[in-house]
Structure 1
Amino acid sequence: MTTRDPSAAGASGAGRVVVLDIVGLQQTHLDEGLAPNVADLLAGKPSGPLEPSFPSVTVPAQTTLSTGQSPAAHGDVSSGEFDRERQVAEFWERDRGGRTRLWEVASDEAGLTTGALFFQHLIGTSADVAVTPSPIEDEDNNLIEMDCWTTPDGFYDDLREEYGHFPLHNYWGPVADERSSEWILAAARESIARSDPDLLWVYVPYLDYDAQRHGPDSPELREAVGVVDDLVGEFLDRLETTPRWAETAVGVVNEYGFNAVDTPVFPNRALREAGLLAVRNDDAGGEKVDIAGSSAFAMVDHQIAHVYTDRPTAARKVLESLPGVDAVLEGEARGDADHPNAGDLVVVADADAWFQYYWWTDDADAPSYATEIDIHAKPGFDPCELFLGDEGLVTLDPTKVSGSHGRIDPDTRGFYGFGGPAAPDGPSDRIVDARRFAPTVADLLGIAEDVSLAFERPSLFAGPQV
């Protein structure tokens, strides 16, 4: 049995930690009274802005939060992965791969019961409880049947019987809304009721949609914060009735904030015009990028583009002159993204700009998947999937996008907090490095010395802020 002994004076320790990743939630939302349930949970407890690692996009941010390491160490530098040998860019792969997060080491090495719901790369996790979408699709990525990969086996069948199928179309796409977050929190309640995990990590996605659709300062996002807060309040009300509430700490975290944007930038069009990117017929009336036949290709992800090139000097010259580009980074200048998985060049957009993957200039030449919700086929992240199109399901008008992220700016900090009866009292509003979140969870559980994750920063309760 693991002895739980947090290192900080005054930290009583937690027998259970529940982490809610409420993507898009920021300190200003609490300051303005938009999230009273979260504010009540964290009153008098440590909370404040979170400084994300670079780049602050979904998969790198999630892996940093759950490992205590920067992308330069853990290797997740984008929500897509570029295979240099196969010359293929693949987004939103589902398998765990070689990733080891806190819930895995807490289970495998510290003997705790753990769970993780709806984080990326969960298939194959050693967590005791896990749920992640794994729809059954045909060879063209068309949905045949909704399904989720779960552990234990059969858990999704039970969830479906009680709550219906996971609403995949409300999880991403033009009709994405709060219903997916509501279902996920219901699954979290069931996970606690059935398995009573010592550590449960839950992704709550709703704010992400309206922040991209309408922008971070929009009335739509402010309203959405209230909706999510109500859902979280209901979840907390149920959690308080569980037998272990007195030994529970609740971690609230947000991966990143959003910049208001109005300028889509097209690095692949610029590379094509310069003769560095090649295209070919996609056999469906459009064009697809010929990555293997190109000297440079940009795998875009919000405000960051990873450029894979055998002609870096030529590609740099093209991209540095492109309006909307703030910086072109190479080698050690890539900072937290200085990893072999990163592009030879890492391009950062201006604060009011973002990168779209398009390489065509005439919409008639767009590949067949461009107007579909096809997250695995597109060699770049496509927020246009949040908007209905005139010709297909998805718009080809990138000017509709109003919010993006990826840069590190004061206005795009995330948020952290630790509340509940087992969370120690502490200061609020101080800015904390995202790498401190995982060691703080481990410290609360008393397992920081028992797990093999190489935390790059200390727990919030183990020393001065770094």
Structure 2
Amino acid sequence: MTDNDAGRAIVLDVIGLEREHVESGLAPNIADLVADGARADLQSPFPAVTLPVQSTLATGQSPANHGDVANGEYDRENDTAALWERDSESRDRLWESASEAGLTTGVFCFQHLIGTTADVALTPSPIEDEENNILEMNCWTNPDGFYDELEAEYGHFPLHTYWGPGANEESTAWILDAAREAIDRYDPDLLWIYIPYLDYAGLAHGASSDELREAIGVADELVGDFLDFLRADERWGETAVNVVSEYGFHDVDTPVFPNRALREAGLLSVQDDGEGGEELDLPNSRAFALVDHQVTHVYADEDVVDEAREALTGLDGVERVLGEEGKKEYGVAHPNAGDLVCVAERSGWFQYYWWFDDANAPYYARDMDIHAKPGFDPVELFFGDEGLVSLDASKVGGSHGRADVDGFYGLGGPAAPDSVPDDVDARTVAPTLTDLLDIEVETAFERDAL
């Protein structure tokens, strides 16, 4: 790719960034880093949601192979559903395989980092009580004492600005400060950094909103400050900076409630949550929907799959209901996938609610409780009238997941090539990094390097 191999690769994962944002002048610092010929549209895998895309970027494999087909997971054996809690031991992600190849590696704020073998790593891990109430902010880090040193210098990681109705640029600034400290202290050869700020405006307000355009400028300024730090570092001459984004946004105005449809069809059961609300009763439900932005995995008993399909087909905002052949077509034919997979129309998105009256919402519905809810809840970005977060799904202005809005891919820095193809498959990012760094790993990439 270049006359000289890069001695260091920095990956900036700027969520929600699109090529048009860079080329229209909204992100001048990123545009200055990445020359015209080194910019591309990034083709995300389906579903274009956080964990499936992150695993594809970091492994070079598709969801059908790495198995991360959603942000959530349904455990068929134990009849439980949860978000963000899948075991990470089976993954061979680039920062781990590069470490085995002899490089010093780092990664910040990707999903499922606890226990990673990266030399320097950080992910939020607050200390909670038995009811998931946060007792103290904390982060899991490698090495063990790294977070204590960061907290002494920058204060606790601002979790309240990382997600929820108070989400803002403060958490992104903290992550980039921590990344600077990692470079100063541990000098990683590969450093992968999650930059979340655009996600909030994209989800809350949508792709064409003024709020998103303003957020692009804020994120670009933060990235620009970090790039200035890199340029002053003695290793800048051997550095290749990879700018990626995981997905782009749609404007949406149609929330879809598949669990309500399944309940009306007599397939989903509820029970008293102990506080006067209706809790999902998974053991006695014959079908339920694990929602995830514009994609929903529907898990159903074998004898009611057709009934579930009938209940979901034709709902306003639903474009397709995929069966076995459809899952193969969309690249999610994996045991972790639902028996059916619903794809929203461009203006639609899926919400997990199964109750018909907000008075019957479960106790956690109005809280920011990402693990208790059996589905991703973007309404957590809005303050509620009766609790911390709203129950008004009509507030949500943006969504993603259909994989038909490209993200961004670009290469810049002294050790980066000056051109890339016009379109880049997300599966080529990991092999391209190994090529840049001139290392061999055992990972079975599905695509060659650029």
TM-score (norm. length: structure 1)? 0.94
State the partner residue of 1:186.
177
Q: How does 1:255-270 map to 2 (within 5 A)?
A: 255-270=246-261
CA offsets per residue over residues 66-113 of structure 1, 9 Å max, x none? Answer: 1110000000011111111111111122763322200000002x1110
State the partner residue of 1:464.
none
| 2:264 maps to 1:273 | yes
What is the one-letter code of the residue matched to 2:51? Answer: V
State the partner residue of 1:79.
71
Within the candidate set 16, 21, 39, 2:8 is matched to 16
- Quick one: distance in 1 between partners of 2:407 and 2:261? 32
Q: Mark the runs of 5 or more structure 1 residues left unpaired by the alignment.
A: 1-7, 461-466
Q: How does 1:349-428 map to 2 (within 5 A)?
A: 349-409=344-404, 412-427=405-420
Q: How does 1:31-430 map to 2 (within 5 A)?
A: 31-93=23-85, 96-108=88-100, 110-310=101-301, 311-334=304-327, 335-409=330-404, 412-427=405-420, 430=422
Instruction: Give the secondary structure class of the aligned counterpart of 2:221.
Output: helix
Deviation at 1:43, TM superposition (A): 1.2
Deviation at 1:318, TM superposition (A): 0.9
Deviation at 1:249, TM superposition (A): 0.2
- Quick one: distance in 1 between partners of 2:357 and 2:226? 48
- Quick one: distance in 1 between partners of 2:151 and 2:319? 47
What is the one-letter code of the residue matched to 1:246? Answer: G
Alignment check: 8 A CA contact 1:45 1:418 kept: no
Alignment check: 8 A CA contact 1:47 1:416 kept: yes
Deviation at 1:51, TM superposition (A): 0.8
Q: Mark the runs of 5 or more structure 2 residues left unpaired by the alignment.
A: none
- Quick one: distance in 1 between partners of 2:181 and 2:85? 26
Alignment check: 8 A CA contact 2:298 2:340 kept: yes
Instruction: Give the secondary structure class of the aligned counterpart of 2:255.
Output: strand
Deviation at 1:139, TM superposition (A): 1.1
TM-score (norm. length: structure 2)? 0.98
Instruction: Give the secondary structure class of the aligned counterpart of 2:414.
Output: coil
- Quick one: distance in 1 between partners of 2:281 and 2:23? 49
What is the one-letter code of the residue matched to 1:239? Answer: L
Deviation at 1:241, TM superposition (A): 1.2
CA offsets per residue over residues 38-73 of structure 1, 9 Å max, x none? Answer: 001001552211111000000000000111100000
What is the one-letter code of the residue matched to 2:416? Answer: A
- Quick one: distance in 1 between partners of 2:29 and 2:317? 39
271-280 or 94-103, which deviates more:
94-103
What is the one-letter code of the residue matched to 2:310? Answer: K
Alignment check: 8 A CA contact 2:267 2:286 kept: yes
Alignment check: 8 A CA contact 1:45 1:424 kept: no
Alignment check: 8 A CA contact 2:244 2:408 kept: yes
State the partner residue of 1:444.
436
Alignment check: 8 A CA contact 2:17 2:408 kept: yes
The alignment yields a C-alpha RMSD, in angstroms, of: 1.0
Instruction: Give the secondary structure class of the aligned counterpart of 2:364.
Output: helix
Identity of aligned residues (%): 64
CA offsets per residue over residues 348-381 of structure 1, 9 Å max, x none? Answer: 0111000000000000110000000000110000
In the superposition, relative to structure 1, how do residues 116 and 152 fare at CA in structure 2: closer, same or farther (>3 Å)?
A: same
- Quick one: distance in 2 between partners of 1:176 and 1:344? 35
In the superposition, relative to structure 1, how do residues 427 and 92 fare at CA in structure 2: closer, same or farther (>3 Å)?
A: closer
Instruction: Give the secondary structure class of the aligned counterpart of 1:38.
Output: helix
Alignment check: 8 A CA contact 2:73 2:86 kept: no
183-192 or 330-339, which deviates more:
330-339
What is the one-letter code of the residue matched to 2:395? Answer: K
